[in-house]
A and B are shown apart, each in its own frame.
Chain A
Amino acid sequence: MAFAPFLIPLTALALSLLLFGGFVSLAGANALEVYHSIYRGAFGTWFSWQNTLVSAAPLMLTALCTALPARLGLIVIGGEGAVVLGGLAAALTGLALIEANPWVALFGMALAAMLAGGLLIGLVGWLRHSRNVNETISSLLFNYISIAILSFLVIGVLRDPETLNKPSTHHIGETHMLGALGESSIHWGFGFGLIACLLLWILYKRTVFGFAVDMVGGNARAARLSGLPVGRIVFLVCLMGGAAAGLAGMVEVAAVHGRANTSLNAGYGYEGILIAFAARHHPLAIVPMAILFGGIRAAGSLMQRDHDLPDATSLVLQGMIFILLLASEAVFAHLARKRGGAA
């Protein structure tokens, strides 16, 4: 059963596509043509691949924001807030370093963004650990609060008066923008996502810290008894998750907008939660999952234009895939039981 980890999600994926085909047929579209559009829009050509990978870039980073704390048994949904605060911090740092060397500026922006996002989610973890404040709810509230802070600042003190009808901060400068990978239109955010997923996988698999995290996730009390600094581990893991999402915010500012504005609040954080669960919180599995969901985002465009389906069609498809992937968890559990291991 070595193939089970691949076979089961793939079966779930195939089933959800079938279900989706039935759904769009009911809505009057030709299912086969819709499949063709999805393929064409997401993976059919190099052009579509670039679209897909660009869409996947922020999702890899925001997925880590949920996936990392999940190893501790914490369910954090604050990726959106971390993206927003990360983007804001990146823009402010970029403006402060506008005279500096581009590399220094970009490094500073990334650092500031990771710090902002990391501290936000770190705070969520700390509140959970020290005061038993539910991390799911507090991170949700921080999303709304972060967005309000961003809106308040960009329409007020931080606003560049030149940004007439879309209030934004000043521009960080064209020379300080994050470029694309080679000749493609894929920006560096994708590279950051890949690196982050790989590094965190190594951290989990190959280091003592990773082992300690798994111990705390397995049984916090036993971990404490064996002398592990549980509070510090919770804080650090949340900090790393938030830092990843914060970095996604930096990429949005440095590679796309050049400024911070309310477009930072584009739902990357929420979609990241989905990907984290679909990848079963495994840092390496996040990469293909993010590409899959990025592909759906990219294909949504064609489903609308070729078949006159509403934008919500891609939400429906995402929902179906997600639900069937979760249902497939039960199959995993069943297999584990068969082998005699505890579920």
Chain B
Amino acid sequence: MIEDPSQWLTVLIAVLGGAIRVGTPFLFVSLGECLTEKSGRINLGLEGNLIMGAMAGYGVAWITGSAWLGVLAAGATGVVLGFIHALLCQQARVNDIAVGIALMILGTGLAFFLGKPLIQPSAPHLPALHLGAWSDNPALRAALEINALFIVGVILAPAMAWFFRSSRWGLAIRTVGESDQAARAMGLNVNGVRMLATMAGGFLAGVGGAFLSLYYPGGWSEGLSSGQGLMAVALVIFARWDPMRCLYASLLFGGAGALGPSLQSVGVTWGYYLFNAAPYVLTLILMIAASSKKVRSGMPGTLAAR
């Protein structure tokens, strides 16, 4: 199919660029989910946060003319949804996954409803850094056109890892996630910690949504998210609750998502549906390979106990 070996290089570059472009929303949502899950709760509603964030971020950026204010607004809607999640989940017998699904539906519905007037207008986009300016290969230059949010995410991952490992707050979150009893014995407010962790996680997921509408692919439409928020939740398990692994997994996922289109663009035209399913198959295989009966590597204790 491919006659010219240099085309493989461009596929590689496209996958690299895709890893960054497509992977950034995954990165933010998975870091947010990681933070929430470390405290012992699963928030499946981050898809709703993502979509709400994309809509609100676009709307605010359009009205104020500032993309960064849009990012903040997106985060703020995430905080609100996270607050609702945490508030409901701390009631007895309320299942966190069910609340997540409810918020996913509500968030999507509200975003589509309120976002109707935002489909046509053009809001300012987030700026990009041209890290590939040295190269005269246009493909490489495009791949290395990196959005500031991605850099924020790349810094955030090790920062979060450090936070969990070495800070007092990180320890508090981990303790709450390990065992309610131990946390109470230490004098921690279990519900309070979980609420903060869920709200902060919601903020990050909202920012991930803003990346979609304010940078790539850019614009607000009802088809903007194709389940990135849900998939990012899968990523966290895949990354075994480690922020650094969330970063790698997001990049891997972004790259896998870029593989289908880039192979077609060099003439590998067979089975694109299957290539498009690659990220899901990949996660599933790795999940099966990584899990086993005995080791629950990295999984917060309260999640493992149920």
On whether the beta carbons of B273 and A330 are closer than 8 Å, the reply is no
Stretch at the interface among A87-95, A140-148, A197-205: A140-148
Q: Which residues of A contact B93 (CB under 8 A)?
A: 329-330, 332-333, 343
Task: Flag whether A130 is at the interface (Cβ < 8 A).
Answer: yes
Shortest distance in angstroms between A85's beta carbon and chain B's nearest beta carbon? 14
Which 5 residue pairs are nearest across A and B when measured between Cβ atoms? A319-B106, A315-B109, A312-B112, A330-B91, A148-B277
On whether the beta carbons of A323 and B234 are closer than 8 Å, the reply is no
Chain A interface mostly: helix
Chain B interface mostly: helix
When chains A and B are docked, how far (Å) is the Cα of A322 from the Cα of B276? 33
Task: Flag whether B98 is at the interface (Cβ < 8 A).
Answer: yes
When chains A and B are docked, how far (Å) is the Cα of A130 from the Cα of B291? 10
When chains A and B are docked, how far (Å) is the Cα of A309 from the Cα of B114? 11
* Interface flags, A112-137, vs B, CB<8A=1, else 0: 00000000000000010011111011
Q: Which residues of A contact B280 (CB under 8 A)?
A: 141, 144-145, 148
When chains A and B are docked, how far (Å) is the Cα of A148 from the Cα of B287? 19
Name which residue of chain A comes closest to B92, CB basis: A333
Task: Flag whether B127 is at the interface (Cβ < 8 A).
Answer: no
Task: Flag whether A320 is at the interface (Cβ < 8 A).
Answer: yes
Q: Which residues of B contact A141 (CB under 8 A)?
A: 234, 280-281, 283-284, 287
Partner of B227, one of A127, A144, A318, A343: A144
On whether the beta carbons of B113 and A277 are closer than 8 Å, the reply is no
Shortest distance in angstroms between B45's beta carbon and chain A's nearest beta carbon? 10
Name which residue of chain B comes closest to A323, CB basis: B102
When chains A and B are docked, how far (Å) is the Cα of A155 from the Cα of B269? 14
On whether the beta carbons of B109 and A323 are closer than 8 Å, the reply is no
* Interface flags, B253-279, vs A, CB<8A=1, else 0: 000000000000000000101101100
Task: Flag whether B230 is at the interface (Cβ < 8 A).
Answer: yes
On whether the beta carbons of A310 and B276 are closer than 8 Å, the reply is no
On whether the beta carbons of A145 and B277 are closer than 8 Å, the reply is yes
* Interface flags, B101-133, vs A, CB<8A=1, else 0: 111011111111100100000000000000000
Task: Flag whether B84 is at the interface (Cβ < 8 A).
Answer: yes
Partner of A327, one of B94, B105, B233, B237: B94
On A, residues with C-beta under 8 Å from B are: 27, 73, 75, 77, 127, 130-134, 136-138, 140-142, 144-145, 148-149, 151-152, 155, 273-274, 277, 309-320, 322-323, 326-327, 329-330, 332-334, 337, 343
Name which residue of chain A comes closest to B44, CB basis: A136
On whether the beta carbons of A316 and B113 are closer than 8 Å, the reply is yes
Task: Flag whether B185 is at the interface (Cβ < 8 A).
Answer: no
- Asked if A319 meets B105 with Cβ closer than 8 Å, knowing A155-B273, A310-B116, the reply is yes
Q: Which residues of A contact B64 (CB under 8 A)?
A: none
Shortest distance in angstroms between A288's beta carbon and chain B's nearest beta carbon? 18
When chains A and B are docked, how far (Å) is the Cα of A136 from the Cα of B33? 15
Task: Flag whether B296 is at the interface (Cβ < 8 A).
Answer: yes
Q: Which residues of A contact B101 (CB under 8 A)?
A: 77, 273-274, 277, 322
Size category of the B interface is 35 or more
Q: Which residues of B contact A332 (CB under 8 A)?
A: 93
- A141-B280, A326-B88 given; name 20 further pairs at CB < 8 Å: A132-B296, A133-B287, A134-B287, A136-B97, A137-B233, A137-B237, A138-B284, A140-B230, A148-B273, A273-B101, A315-B113, A316-B113, A319-B102, A319-B106, A319-B108, A322-B101, A323-B84, A323-B106, A327-B88, A329-B91
Name which residue of chain A comes closest to B98, CB basis: A277
Q: Which residues of A contact B42 (CB under 8 A)?
A: 136
When chains A and B are docked, how far (Å) is the Cα of A332 from the Cα of B92? 9
Q: Which residues of A contact B284 (CB under 8 A)?
A: 138, 141-142, 145
On whether the beta carbons of B94 and A326 are closer than 8 Å, the reply is yes
When chains A and B are docked, how far (Å) is the Cα of A75 from the Cα of B109? 23
When chains A and B are docked, how far (Å) is the Cα of A274 from the Cα of B107? 14
Q: Which residues of B contact A313 (CB under 8 A)?
A: 109, 113
On whether the beta carbons of B102 and A322 are closer than 8 Å, the reply is yes
